[in-house]
Amino acid sequence: MQYLDIHTHILPGVDDGAKDMETAITLLEMLKEQGVTEVIVTPHFYPDTDSAEEFAEFTGKAYNDLKNEIAHKDLPRIFLGCELRYFSGMGKSHAIKQFVISGTNYLLLELPYGAPVTKTVLQDIIDISERQGLVPILAHIERYAKVSGFKKLLKLISDGYAISHINAGAVVTKETARLCENLIKKGYVSYMASDTHSPEHRPPQIKQALDVITDRLGRSAANRLIIKSNRLLEEIEGADE
C-alpha cells in the first residue's frame, strides 16, 4: 500500500515544524511507521510578512538537504509544496502559481484561523479555480466548522471550486472526531494529512486515524482516502516527467 501525506512541516529549520535535520529524520521514521510512503513537505508561507524569493531559496535549500540526507535511507520519498496563507485578492494574483504542490495545479490553502469566511474569501477561492485553473485544497477544513460562512465554504466544495483535507489528529481527538466523520460521510473530504510539526507536539497519526475511520465508517471510507492520496501521487509523478 502507498500513502501520500499531503501536508507536513518537516523541512529542517524553515518554519514552526522540524527544528533540525535529526527531527526531520525522526518525523520521516514516524511517518513510515504509520504506513506513509510519500510525503509532501509544506512549509508555511505568510504573504504579509515573507518574501517569496527568500522563501523559494530557503525552502529549496532545506528540501535538497533533506533529500540528500535520505537518499540512501529506507524512508518515505519527499516532494516540495507549500502551505499558503490566504490573502485578500489572491484569486487575481498570478504570483500564487509559484506555491503549487510539486509541479501540479494543486494549491494547499490555509484560511485564517477563527476568521469568518467572507464573500471576498469565497470569491477568491472561486477565482483561484476559475481564473487561474488551480485546484485549491482547503487545509484542515474541520478547523473552520465554527466560523460563520462555513456552510458556504462547503458549498464551494460541492460546486467543484475547491477540495479539502482533514487532519489525522482531528480524527483521533474526541472533540472533533464526530465532525470529521460527518465531513467524510458527506463527501467533503478528499485527503487526510498529518500536518505534523514535531514528534512531541504534533506527531503524525495517519494510521490511528485510518483505523478510526475504518471502525466508524467502514473499510471503503478509509480506502477512498488512500486511493485519493495515490491519485495525487500519480499526478505529481506525471508532472515530474
Query: What is the distance in angstroms between the CA of the first residue and the CA of the last residue of the chain?
Result: 23
Site string for Fe ion, 91-120 (x = CB under 5 A): ------------------------------
83/127 with CB nearer Fe ion: 83
38/83 with CB nearer Fe ion: 83
Q: Which amino acid is located at 198 in the chain? A: S
Cα distance between residue 205 and residue 177, in whole Å: 13
Q: What angle do CA 51, 45, 226 make, to 5 degrees?
A: 150
Q: Is residue 142 near Fe ion by the rule CB under 5 A?
A: no
Cell of 118: 467572507
Which DSSP category does 202 fall into?
A: B
198/214 with CB nearer Fe ion: 198
Task: Name the maximum alpha-carbon separation found in the chain.
Answer: 49
Site string for Fe ion, 40-79 (x = CB under 5 A): ----------------------------------------
Q: Is residue 195 near Fe ion by the rule CB under 5 A?
A: yes
What's the min distance (Å) between Cβ of 44 and Fe ion? 7
Q: How many helices (H) and strands (E) does the chain have?
A: 8, 9
Cα distance between residue 223 and residue 226, in whole Å: 5
What's the min distance (Å) between Cβ of 196 and Fe ion? 9
Q: Quick one: which segment of 13-21, 64-72, 142-150, 194-202 binds Fe ion (CB under 5 A)?
A: 194-202
Site string for Fe ion, 153-192 (x = CB under 5 A): ----------------------------------------
What's the min distance (Å) between Cβ of 130 and Fe ion? 26
Which DSSP category does 99 fall into?
A: G
What's the min distance (Å) between Cβ of 9 and Fe ion? 6
* Beta bridge pairs of residue 165: 191
Distance of CA 188 to the CA centre of its chain: 15
Q: Is residue 15 near Fe ion by the rule CB under 5 A?
A: no
Buried b (16+ CB within 10 A) or exposed e, 62-82: bbeebeebbeeeebbebbbbb
Q: Is residue 83 near Fe ion by the rule CB under 5 A?
A: yes
Q: How many residues bind Fe ion (CB under 5 A)?
A: 2
112/187 with CB nearer Fe ion: 112
Which residues are at the interface with Fe ion (CB under 5 A)?
83, 195
